[in-house]
Structure 1
């Protein structure tokens, strides 16, 4: 874990008609000594089984944030939202997890004076898929750059974990990432994946299909927090450079 002195992680909640009756938990981290007003934002989407605290408690993203800003990078806010096991899109139960981010969370950021015209997205596994899908759909044209680690991407319905990522073949067709890579044309993207990760082949295939070619980092590692922790500073720097 990084040990650079970091700003406090502020907890908050909001309500959204994308998931009625629920107080959504989210967190905000600012660089030490920097105010929220006018800051660009990196939205963090967590992976399967994680929560909005994981990126701070387990990956230490706010410590990397502080280090990058101290080194002269563009200051930026980090925000993270609980996404349960959603795969960050509308599910059969009617909950629209994508709109929860693109409308509910983004509206909260605007209320704080953060610059929502300068958005970056970062995520790992389920969250890496969600970041790219949101950039292709609900946040299309509103995102400056995306960084995805160990992207949970599947070639077809038959290769998906049944009942987890998608609810049906129709859901896969409507929300699968392979069906909408052309929607990401022109967007700066950074992809990282461990060479021992089960998503490595699909990650490399995705990199070949994106235009322009994304920055990539294929290095030793598997599908684990240790790999994401090692990838995070490179990807956050990439996002800061595009904000």
Structure 2
């Protein structure tokens, strides 16, 4: 059953990522830039065309598939075989997976920003792959309990898997937004605290919400469907 969770969640994540990948790319560019969302989209299109919104397509999709399916697999594996608190179980599992996925996230973010010579940068200084990991670690500590475990609890309380997914992913997105902003900027090499005030840390929040919530709903719904049918 555990391996079935991995395969089905990987399929579900692949579908969700194919649909939502351009939103993620726009969010990354917007958070690292200084212009509006519409201007960000216009600049990407004028410079790279439609293909510019899928620059990091293969790496983004493969990274997200590995990340989400591994986290879901670890969560179910620990819950089914160890027991204990589901919130702690998911946090532990997600932290373990983040060590492997962060370098892939670094590559994804820099590809989304259309950075050239990424391989040269990695060969010159391999530790660059873990730039921003402190933000990933803190982001995981905050958001991990708010996805799979909270979704299951809200699903049970509301009687709806879709509603449970919407509520849990919305709460998680709000909680992790400032760290998501800082993580993306640090991985790209931008300054983090140059702009005074707290409002700047919610730059890209609308895009983040529009990316995370539909993505999570699709992943959980398709995974549940496949688990029942296959």
- The two structures have a TM-score, normalised by structure 1, of 0.28
**Higher RCO, 1 vs 2 (CA within 8 Å, ≥6 residues apart):** 2
> Where is the strand percentage greater, Structure 1 or Structure 2?
1
- The two structures have a TM-score, normalised by structure 2, of 0.29
Q: Which has the larger Rg?
A: 2
